Structure 1
């Protein structure tokens, strides 16, 4: 997720181009800090996340303290504390008794734990060795300021504390597993297809991130790692009211634009068309310059196609037979990492997904036919 009001970011390179206010010091700290690491003994600890779930945490004991530094997976996973300082200097999150139970620990506990869940998903399902497929260190930054957002910043994921802007109360943004997976997927894209963060390629970038965040949520919840139920809404766990969500993959129009703080007013495109809800068909494509050409808006068209391909349904008179989450994940992963290029648009994406399905399941397979049906259903032909 990326708030246009906070910064301009190129996901192609992962380099911050300019900070427009809100978190500039946090961004600078995350990309320029000399990262603290410790050498010590692996120790299993416990912590409590935002929703009261007790997490098993992999930590490193050194200097009589327990640091959120996981060395058990071959890939190092570390969580940093920005300390909510004006002169942000991230340090490793630590505790003196290996019980991360304080209320302030929740944002770090969830960030650290979910980073491991997301890494495990991509390793187990797709054989990927961290975001860069080279064993890159996975860094999370928490307590970086009272902003309501999370973002991949080139060196790691930044999580805002949440706030009550626009009358909507949000909690720490590491509280939502689908959001953690979303940002990690941006990191994968930045080191593979490098989809340019603008217009249709940027919307495709966002849609792929939404999809894998959602697939990770379903995979994790099915393993009973939490009492919560998986769904096809996005980032619902960051909202304190328990009913708000940022986007919906199965019913895009159910999420009004006003919920996204980046869209405080309806979008009016270059053709004078007014957009008040997220689209579910290519005929509703936003054509304008806001939000880098509607990357967070037009992504919902791809989201709807992805949902139909997984779960099935009839949309605009087109029937789609779902092929399931496992196959959808394999098809999109192959396309996103080996077939898509930086300029891939929606029509190219359809062709790339068909190519991936053919490679995985055969030229005349059900999977190929349902990719075609799903994209026909949203008007991408």
Structure 2
């Protein structure tokens, strides 16, 4: 289903470190010596090393005594094996202990650094037996070693909140938006980052975002679509429901959306009327009618006090109850509840018999809303419309949304990238499993694999289905590589890959066994930041716990194999680029390169900072920026030295333009320092002994230049003129000069300044083709003795034209016309002395995003010619930076993560 305004867990559509640490296999789990006969292969690995940590991700095959109460015994076990686990048990806090039907117990711990929760930091210990016979069977999860992040914020709370609100794309929404402070969180990666976690809700757009603001710099460290449950202190619903409120169990009838009469469990009020509250289970099930109100009124907030459950003066409810979808939601909620209780032993979504709440008949600003979502505490179903029934009609959709509630109370999978895709996949799996079980569908029935096939009023079920779990998608053929800006990194787009593997397991094993295995993996193995491979290991480990034979385990492994969820699958995607740095997750990371040396903001062994390395991949990346609590970014290099801006940090730290040699052997030197909170530094550029940057103050931006290592001086500008963007190379400084003559539109003119002459030597007037109207010049760059820029028409009727001009202001020419089918559609432009590289953003296809529609890089000779694809990597390609010749580095999302990669020459036609 196309993504609609609600992004909080809609039915339709990492803070990871740079360096991976290897972990030696403990002697007790050593591999067989060379030459010894191999045992019967076991699909469940004995040990899985962790990434970005020295602690193992999974240790299985144990049988070690651990007598006593489960939580203290589990903690003592971890402490007794420091060489195996590499865990400081003083950082672990018990989240809870669950017990399976066979008596097996799982203790889940949360990692806290200085008392502050670590995002995704959870470790689990699995116990069997009782009392003195209790033993540890396995352990694993994610524990991040080497954390050194501070635990006290350096930035005022008001500033952090404003930074979170600034994450909203529309500034007009910030006054009405809400930023709920959920407390401090440590983001893992290197030494970690202290952040403040906010949920930002934009009522106008109907969106909610999880935003983590760096508490030492005041900048956004991570942001993604909302999915996490609300804090336990927040009321889930209001008003409360239950016998204590004067409600008494009753039965009645109500028509469903198709006009059929259904028997319903209801409650009788003290005044003799009736409402949709089912009191026959430990958890009350209540269904509210939004009566056409906007879905945003119910999104991540308690049910408004003026909203009431579906009601009737008699036990026989009126036709509107069915037309609005209330009857189907109420009945389906009971079916889902019973599936989890009777089949899997779970009492309610939270496992504790907590209230189950549904809201139906929600609109999209008064318009039909064909969608549904779990908001962290309840289900909200759209009204449907002329083409769709209310979304509560489909049992598999209800099962999908309610399963999100189960995930939120167990593994708490982070809603982005592969972890978010597994969240969606598990919701898809159980949604379909619940419907197939309730309807008595055979696993051979093609309809069993369809999700949402019963939603359409007129179209055939196959055409209406939102996803098909039997469509055989694989990582190598179908994984959509995108950054977090599209579908939170592909949470819906890539979920069918993992869901398909789970569905194949249900077709291979008997359905009940498969359901119990997947449920055990979710509740007792998965942790918030797990990826597809960790999901595979979790399911296999759960299968062995539940007594699957080796033959059955091999069939489970074969299901994952068939969907390409195998070790090293990212390396089999057919990429034609070389990886320089993996898991570049910082949203402010923009690479720079010159003379074979790259530079980027990243997370490394010395924490978050500017790291440099060589494009040949030799050597270890070197950190250039000091550890002073400030954000160091917007860096560039001339291949010998780097220059960047440092800002934020502790009060009084000030802002600096800093420079340092790429070797890391020389000192970090301040070129310009500002202690004024009214000033903002940016656009730092370097070429030999010349450094340029901008200073913005009181709404005006001016260029500064340090020539031959001298004191930076502000360059003169006519009154009312400003600059934006800078380019500096070989004694030439370029900027975009802007001004407005009276009420006329803003004028933007590329301007060239000669460092040697100390004056402006050329201004490049607008060069738009006749009849196209005014244009806007952006992305200035100097290469091959020429100035280049992108020229976008103000009316956005065409793509951008790549313009080139001589340094004396003459010879303005179109290197590539905006009429070209491969002309730029973004502001990314970079060039060497031989070639110009630019980014083409595709339009989202009518059928949804594809790899082909994601941004791709193209290259054209500096002298003109036919554009060629720089790389045939199938995923998104972002933030290109040109080196020498035709070599380019960029951020590539093809491999299921964002990597810094390089290619030496264009690939041509893909």
The answer to whether 1:248 aligns with 2:433 is: no
Q: Distance in 2 between matches of 1:182 and 1:236?
A: 13
> What do the CA deviations read for 1:280-330 (whole angstroms, capped 9, x no partner)?
44442111021011110111111221222222xxxxxxxxxx112211111
2:322 is matched with: 105
2:479 is matched with: 285
Cα contact 2:259–2:322 (8 A) shared by 1? no
Which protein is richer in strand relative to its size? 2
Candidates 409, 429, 437, aligned match of 1:191: 409
Q: Distance in 2 between matches of 1:52 and 1:84?
A: 20
The answer to whether 1:34 aligns with 2:219 is: no
SS in 1 for 2:493: helix
Q: Distance in 1 between matches of 2:247 and 2:534?
A: 49
Q: CA deviation at 1:9?
A: 5.5
1:95-174 equivalence runs, <5 A? 95-106=312-323, 107-145=325-363, 146-163=368-385, 169-174=387-392
Q: CA deviation at 1:143?
A: 2.0
Q: CA deviation at 1:48?
A: 1.6
2:521 is matched with: 335
Inter-CA distance 101–16: structure 2 relative to 1 (3 Å threshold): farther
Cα contact 2:256–2:321 (8 A) shared by 1? no
The answer to whether 1:309 aligns with 2:505 is: yes
Inter-CA distance 231–33: structure 2 relative to 1 (3 Å threshold): closer
1:374 is matched with: 559
1:295 is matched with: 491
Q: Distance in 2 between matches of 1:114 and 1:23?
A: 26
Q: CA deviation at 1:206?
A: 0.3
Q: Distance in 1 between matches of 2:330 and 2:527?
A: 31
Instruction: Flag the structure with larger Rg.
Output: 2
2:31 is matched with: none
Q: CA deviation at 1:210?
A: 0.2
1:5 is matched with: 5
The answer to whether 1:82 aligns with 2:299 is: no
SS in 2 for 1:215: helix
Q: Distance in 2 between matches of 1:56 and 1:233?
A: 27
Inter-CA distance 241–282: structure 2 relative to 1 (3 Å threshold): farther
Q: CA deviation at 1:46?
A: 0.9
Cα contact 2:267–2:274 (8 A) shared by 1? yes
SS in 2 for 1:231: helix
2:395 is matched with: 177
Inter-CA distance 187–32: structure 2 relative to 1 (3 Å threshold): closer
**What is the root-mean-square deviation of aligned Cα atoms in Å?**
3.0
Q: Distance in 2 between matches of 1:85 and 1:345?
A: 37
Cα contact 1:7–1:19 (8 A) shared by 2? no
Q: Distance in 1 between matches of 2:415 and 2:524?
A: 18
Higher relative contact order (CA 8 A, sep 6+): 1
Cα contact 1:9–1:16 (8 A) shared by 2? no
Runs (5+) with no aligned partner, structure 2: 12-119, 121-181, 183-197, 209-225, 227-233, 298-303, 567-910
Q: CA deviation at 1:114?
A: 0.6
Cα contact 2:474–2:564 (8 A) shared by 1? no
Q: Distance in 2 between matches of 1:10 and 1:239?
A: 18
The answer to whether 1:18 aligns with 2:201 is: yes
Inter-CA distance 328–2: structure 2 relative to 1 (3 Å threshold): farther
1:260 is matched with: none
Q: CA deviation at 1:31?
A: 7.7
Cα contact 1:2–1:151 (8 A) shared by 2? no
Q: CA deviation at 1:361?
A: 1.7
TM-score computed with the length of structure 1 as normaliser: 0.80
TM-score computed with the length of structure 2 as normaliser: 0.35
1:273 is matched with: none
Q: Distance in 2 between matches of 1:359 and 1:181?
A: 26
Which stretch of the first structure deviates more once superposed, 300-309 or 343-352? 300-309
SS in 1 for 2:267: strand
Cα contact 1:46–1:54 (8 A) shared by 2? yes
1:233-244 equivalence runs, <5 A? 233-243=450-460, 244=464
Candidates 333, 336, 350, aligned match of 2:536: 350
Inter-CA distance 306–192: structure 2 relative to 1 (3 Å threshold): same
Cα contact 1:147–1:160 (8 A) shared by 2? yes
The size of the alignment, in residue pairs, is 333
Q: Distance in 2 between matches of 1:85 and 1:291?
A: 26
> What do the CA deviations read for 1:42-66 (whole angstroms, capped 9, x no partner)?
1110112123343221111121211
Candidates 50, 55, 66, aligned match of 2:262: 55
Inter-CA distance 230–57: structure 2 relative to 1 (3 Å threshold): farther
Cα contact 1:46–1:57 (8 A) shared by 2? yes
Q: Distance in 2 between matches of 1:52 and 1:81?
A: 18
Q: CA deviation at 1:33?
A: 6.1
Q: Distance in 1 between matches of 2:265 and 2:378?
A: 19
Q: CA deviation at 1:100?
A: 2.1
Q: CA deviation at 1:40?
A: 2.8
Inter-CA distance 32–184: structure 2 relative to 1 (3 Å threshold): closer
Q: Distance in 2 between matches of 1:96 and 1:308?
A: 48
Inter-CA distance 374–32: structure 2 relative to 1 (3 Å threshold): closer
Inter-CA distance 9–105: structure 2 relative to 1 (3 Å threshold): closer
Q: Distance in 2 between matches of 1:49 and 1:112?
A: 10
